[in-house]
Amino acid sequence: MCGICFCLHTQPNVAPIDYTPLNARGPDFQKQYGPIALTPDLYVTFAVSVLSIRGFKQEQPFVDDDGNILIYNGEIYEAPFQIKESDNDGVLLFEHFKQCSTDMDICQLISQLEGCFAFIYYQKQTNCLYYGRDRLGRRSLMYSMIDDNQSNLKMILTSVRLQQFSYTELDSSILHKLSVKSTNSTFQIDTISYVKPTIDIISSEPPDALLTELENDSVFQNISTTFLNQLQAAVRRRLANLPTLCRRCKRSTDGTLRPENGCPHPKLAILFSGGIDSSVLTALADRILPSNEPIDLLNVSFFSDVRAPPPADRQTGLQALTELNPARQWNFVQIDVDVNELRHYRENVIKTVIYPCSTVLDDSIGSALWFAARGSGKLHPVNTVYESTAEVLLSGLGADEQLAGYSRHRSTFQAHGWKGLENELEMEINRISKRNLGRDDRVISSLGKEVRFPFLDERLVNYLRSVPIWYKADLRLGRGIGEKYLLRYIACHSLSLFQSSKYPKRAIQFGSRIAKLENRKEKASDQCARLTIDDED
């Protein structure tokens, strides 16, 4: 995980900027590079912070003798070029950027990448800046256009909010190109749509029979087998390049992240409610990682009264723990947060990284994710103080959006049938970058950690798009059965998660009990006064 930024300014010395939020994303290395003169009156300065995960500890920006520059944040799992587990994907991407001579060359290159990333590339020959996010928007990038006569700043593009300017999240479906006019030192921004993959839809008509009656049907069996294989491959891709050192031991090395004899501490943590999504990811991670690797399970709860019974996610988390492989060391981390601690960290950290998201729902989910990802709590059952040493986290985000897991999907199905539900799920994926992913990336990365989303693997997403909705969910069936039916089926029949496969959907804000903790009258869609940050005009 990294923080990346460029500032466009009208004088050689850029106005002072506090890069603290950017640097928090990359604790291993920070640097400012520039200014680079685009015209006699227009300059660009780059800033980057690096969290090294794969290959060797690698400084940025990437700069060559011709003056090309790349700053890059993310993980590339598949590409039109070979990437080994020990390779630094940023180095390889830079080499292939330099082979691009046209806008479409760059657009084609980015369109073929599979992974979660954001980038800023300066092409010296054309004096242009190209920038963007992966097509699903799993890494944050946002911009501010500045019209202030008191400042020499004209534009900031950054992973996280810097200064008190107003920002907008960058559209993840398009490549952006900033070019300058040397005659009058102005600039313009053009966009090019990424190339969308072709998806062959499985031919089928809506069945009269319930999905429970079609489990032995050859079509459903093929779909469930392929789904399991695709999901397991998605998890494997996200675990293949884990460092062999935890974040604490990494600090004392000579730069290698994968020494042959690694440390015995956890390198992976899972955001673990005990629900179907996180339980399936945990069972698949258990299949993939060596049996001697411990894994942290991060379970967060909020309390206004310490005498209150544990919230639902704590109960389901502990129940799900009993279904996991007993031969592995599972560190079940009980993260208990009271109102005072919540208010302190929201005011000093969380509201800055949630921005520009601003609803009550953003506050609840963002705050819950921040405390869970921090990983500070007590180990079950010994109740000793514990802090997770893992820098890589897995999240189950994306399962509900693709497999009809939310209660609103049931309402849509009842009102508009299969076609309405299908359209609703397509809309969910198209808006997930602005609704969820940018926020979640900023929140978790502010802790110097990286979150990965197996359910949002490109190959898995494209496969699920090819599967008719009536093979993925059947909302004619009750809660805890019909929603995410396909996922529940493989959990029960392939992963032996007999109890976890039956839990109904419970959103993190309710399962952790953060919702209504401070104000029982507010609605999720309301603007949240607790997140208010004053913008400079």
**Which of 2, 7, 107, 357 is the catalytic position?**
2
Please name the residues in contact with 386: beta carbons below 8 A apart, sequence gap of 6 or more.
331, 333, 375, 376, 377, 378, 379
For helices 218-239 and 458-466, angle between their N-to-C axes, nearest 10 degrees: 170
HEC per residue, 50-89: ECCCCCECCCCCEECCCCCEEEEEEEEEECCCCCCCCCCH
From residue 400, how far is each of 3, 185, 347, 404 by CA, in Å? 29, 48, 30, 5
- Rounded CA gap, 146 and 132, in Å? 20
Tokens of 513: 């009990």
From residue 424, how far is each of 49, 410, 417, 460 by CA, in Å? 38, 11, 11, 18
- Rounded CA gap, 365 and 346, in Å? 12
3-class SS at 123?
A: strand
Is residue 128 annotated as a catalytic residue, yes or no?
A: no
Can the peptide bond before residue 259 be classed as cis, meaning omega within 30 degrees of 0?
no
- Cβ 61 vs Cβ 31: under 8 Å: yes
Q: How far is CA 434 from the centre of its chain?
A: 11
Q: What count of other Cβ atoms lies within 10 Å of the Cβ of residue 419?
A: 11
- Cβ 294 vs Cβ 332: under 8 Å: no
Q: What count of other Cβ atoms lies within 10 Å of the Cβ of residue 387?
A: 11
Tokens of 428: 């969910």
Please list the active-site residues.
Answer: 2
